[in-house]
Chains A and B, each alone.
Chain A
Amino acid sequence: MATAPRFQFTEGTPQYRTYKLIGYGILLLLVLVVAFAYNDTGSITLFDNDYKVSITRVTKAISFIIAILGLQVVAGFTGQLSLGQGFFFGVGAYLSAWLVSDHNWPWLLTLVVIIPTCFIFGMAFGIPALRIKGLYLALVTLGLAAILPSLILLDKLEPYTAGAAGKQTDSDLVPPGWLPLDGIVDALHKLPLVGSYFGDGDGLSSREEQRVWTFFIMTIVAVVCFKMVGNLIKSRPGRAIRAVRDNETSAAVNGIGLAYHKTMSFGVASALGGVGGMVYVAELGIASPGDFTQLLSILFIVGLVVGGVGTLSGAVIGGLVIAFVPDWASSTQNFPGVPERWLQGPTGGLILGLMLIVLTFVLPGGIVAGVRRLRARFVRVNPARPPLLTTGDPTTNALADSATVDAASVND
């Protein structure tokens, strides 16, 4: 690198902590803005097109983000190409819809059922993965994802799934009485300059309140998921699954059980898929079989690749992309130079397909890779060095000499 980055931080120092705090602060601000601004009324207008930026759409994006996070675990970090994440998303969606509407369970409680169920199913999915690798695993998992709609439409299951009509849930997440959402919106509305973005000054309707509350709860669910996966990656099992990804044979020789780690990884990924499904149905209010075809699994892969395989922030970007691109693409009725006829139809699918192709050439690491490269020009974080056990000399002095030779070439 020609010039050193402007900001350098070392882990563990106060300056680093401040840097992190500012980062989290900005994220928190973003969450608040999304929650209260443009509450279902907002849209951006470009070229005579109305692009909706509503909180419901963001909550839907969160469901996708969680599903893609699961894919990151199994495909990004363990190297198992699963095209079946949509299956677990659908299972989670239907399970929670059934528990909530037929048995009056609170939404979050359904996770107690969804997580173990999807985990165990996922581990079962992982068993073929022990013998079937790469491309063929992708095929088999795609096949499994494709059959979910037919399973849902089975006559035998109709009492639970409501068949082709879709399973409706009337239960919404109702914010607690003590939370002054109304008051917050009013206060924000009074802010100079930006106030007009925060509602119309007449408070929130109960439906709007529910939406905001759902958004907050689901954001927290997502944050918890991210924290857990982040913990996983930095730990012993996290290193183990990445070793399986990078070189199975040497992983086995170093005592890393391939079967165990692959199946566990599938389990975790599928559980996250199920959680995503719950979020989806909680927001949408209905689970229909047509939403959970193998196309959804392919869409998740698009999100995975576009965001950046093997990264956590890639899941966020990927989820946002696959939630908004098709939506905004179909909202695009006018675009300069393009005849209107070509803008109707699944332009979103076309854009996503083209994104996959272009990114593979230009930015195989996904958008995150590009962002990181940019950021590396301005900020570098140096890892904290663990203490040395002994201050004694290295094994041989000769080694220390050769080390300096290597150091010169490595730090270029």
Chain B
Amino acid sequence: MELFINRIFDGLSNGATYALIAMALVMIFKATTLINFAQGEFAMFGGFIAYVLATERGVPMWGAVVLAMVISALLAAGIERTLIRPFDPADHLPLVIITLGLFLAINAVAGIVWRFDPRAFPELFPSGNAASIGGANLSWYTIFTLLTVLVVAGALTLLLNKTKIGLAFRAVSSNLESSELVGIKVGPTLQFGWAIAAAVGTLAVAVFVATPVRQIEPNVMITGLIFAVSAAALGGLDSLGGAIVGGLAIGLVQSIVVPYVGVPSELSLLAAVVVLMLVLLFKPSGLFGTPAVERV
């Protein structure tokens, strides 16, 4: 029983990371119906910036993370402006190729600059356990990662609903042509989306590796991206709330369902892919997304 509860906690804390990356994916998807294959690498790179700022420049840890979020947002905005905007948003193929190229390039740059040996990331949250429930230890880490998800979700919701640029973003997501016609500058609005997504991703990686059991290295998000994509699809690719539900669900599937079904842990990735495939086959709009209506 205690093992089971431990597994729930593990699942929730992993799921929190997936939820955060999934939220980043949803931000870009909402605006452009594009899945950014390089999202995981953006996030990883941002995480490394935080690492460098904290360990080599002596910036206090949380300050480093926030600064890294800002820097990665600016870099992503630059990438959107130079590499994404020149293309017709409706034609996915060149954009998929470009994001694949970014995937390779950013991963390689991280490997060149920081090599591949894993590095311990300073902890962001108090260590140790907050409580003991049913014999299992609920760590502060788990509590705070979940809290981070809620805070980010809250912040994004505020941003989208209470600010002018958030309004523009929602307009562009809903109908690009109409938005252009009413004078909304679509380019900068999309750029904003990419920037926010990158910032959220950076936070996700920082939170993910800020624990003694994990380290940061350039390949940290290679499989993580697939979990996050499954999470986003499960929750609904244009739903932020869905991304949270999806992320936590995938995390729980990974830590609970997989061991209990007797599937070896290596296949948890398979479980996530199966979930992704089933969702896309049978309910493409996911649990909370808006279904696409097709006119014949």
Contact = CB atoms under 8 A, between A and B. Distances in A.
Interface of A: 81, 128, 131-132, 134-136, 138-140, 142-144, 146-147, 149-151, 153-155, 293-295, 298, 301-302, 305, 342, 344-350, 352-357, 360-361, 364
Contacts of B33: 135
A354 B96 contact: no
Interface residues of B, number: 44
A138 B104 contact: no
A88 B289 CA distance: 33
B281 A128 contact: yes
A143 B112 contact: no
A69 B202 CA distance: 38
- Chain B contact residues: helix, strand, loop or mixed: helix
A132 B281 contact: yes
B112 A344 contact: yes
A248 to B, nearest CB: 13
B140 interface: no
B93 to A, nearest CB: 7
Given A132-B280, A344-B112, A144 B104 contact: no
Contact of A146 (B100, B105, B226): B226
B104 A302 contact: yes
B94 A360 contact: yes
B10 to A, nearest CB: 19
A131 B283 CA distance: 11
Q: Give the interface centre of B100, B113, B226, B264 by most chain A CB atoms within 10 Å.
A: B100
Given A305-B97, A347-B108, A150 B267 contact: yes
A131 B111 contact: no
A360 B35 contact: no
A131 B105 contact: no
A191 B104 CA distance: 45
B105 A135 contact: no
Nearest to A83: B100
Contacts of B226: 142-143, 146
B23 to A, nearest CB: 17
Given A142-B226, A345-B112, A360 B276 contact: no
A150 B108 contact: no
Nearest to A354: B105
Nearest to A344: B112
Interface of B: 33-35, 37, 83, 86, 92-94, 96-98, 100-109, 111-113, 115, 222-223, 226, 229-230, 233, 264, 266-267, 269-270, 272-273, 276-277, 280-281, 284
Given A353-B108, A354-B105, A357-B101, A81 B96 contact: yes
Contacts of B266: 149-151, 153-154
A304 to B, nearest CB: 9
Given A305-B97, A350-B104, A360-B98, A143 B111 contact: no
Given A131-B280, A146-B226, A360 B112 contact: no
Contacts of A155: 264
Given A132-B281, A350-B108, A356 B270 contact: no
Among A136, A139, A142, A342, chain B packs the most CB atoms within 10 A around the CB of A139
Contacts of B34: 135
A131 B83 contact: no
Contacts of A360: 94, 97-98, 101
Contacts of A81: 93, 96
Contacts of A355: 101
Contact of B96 (A135, A350, A353): A135
A349 B101 contact: no
Nearest to A361: B86
